[in-house]
Homo-oligomer: A and B are copies of this chain.
Amino acid sequence: MGVDPGLTRCGVALVESGSGRKVTALDVDVVRTPAAMDLAERLLKIHTAVEHWLDTHRPDVVAVERVFAQRQVSTAMGTAQAAGVVALAAAQRDIPVRFHTPSEVKAAVTGSGRADKAQVTMMITRILGMQTAPKPADAADALALAVCHCWRGPLNDRMEEAAAKAKAAQDRHRARLKAAQEEAAAR
């Protein structure tokens, strides 16, 4: 499941990953909350909608866009909060949550981390073999996030595993070094 978080429009999409790079779109929607609504109520509405998606579809993993404060400062806080309640809903069901940056998503589906919204929409329509382009952009972005995770997920997991192994080896080396130093000092 891919989620493009936002208070005004939160894109949610479900994609099935097949063999190789085969991906199929199963469902896509945009959860909307009015700007005039109380912030806590907006978060509640998004959380409830995502809970419904999770309970209906039971996805293996939820891929969420990683929000940066540097971009669009005025809306970044609300976007981060929407992403937070989405991640919470997944954690409440023991469903793993993975974050991908906008440039990772763009690179995965278009080949360029600097692709614009139109290019992402065009490519995701083609990749998923959809008859019409998903609208609005938030729907296309949610699909792109899900596809990005299907394609990058295993790579990321392998990279994290390798990093963890390297760290463990370094820790063992440091422990041996410390023991040798202590032994030398004790002589």
Contact = CB atoms under 8 A, between A and B. Distances in A.
A73 B81 CA distance: 15
A35 B67 CA distance: 18
Contact of A77 (B44, B69, B85, B91): B69
A13 interface: no
A43 B88 contact: yes
Interface in A68-122: 68-70, 73, 76-77, 80-85, 87-88, 90-92, 96-97, 99
B80 A47 contact: no
A67 B69 CA distance: 11
Interface of A is mostly: helix
Interface residues of A, number: 28
B92 A39 contact: no
A38 interface: yes
Contacts of A67: 77
Number of this chain's copies in the complex: 2
Interface in A30-89: 38-41, 43-44, 47, 67-70, 73, 76-77, 80-85, 87-88
A180 to B, nearest CB: 28
A67 B78 CA distance: 10
Interface of A: 38-41, 43-44, 47, 67-70, 73, 76-77, 80-85, 87-88, 90-92, 96-97, 99
25 contacts: A38-B91, A38-B97, A39-B99, A40-B90, A40-B91, A40-B96, A41-B91, A43-B84, A44-B88, A44-B91, A68-B77, A69-B76, A69-B77, A76-B76, A76-B77, A76-B80, A77-B80, A80-B80, A80-B81, A80-B84, A81-B83, A81-B84, A81-B87, A85-B85, A85-B88
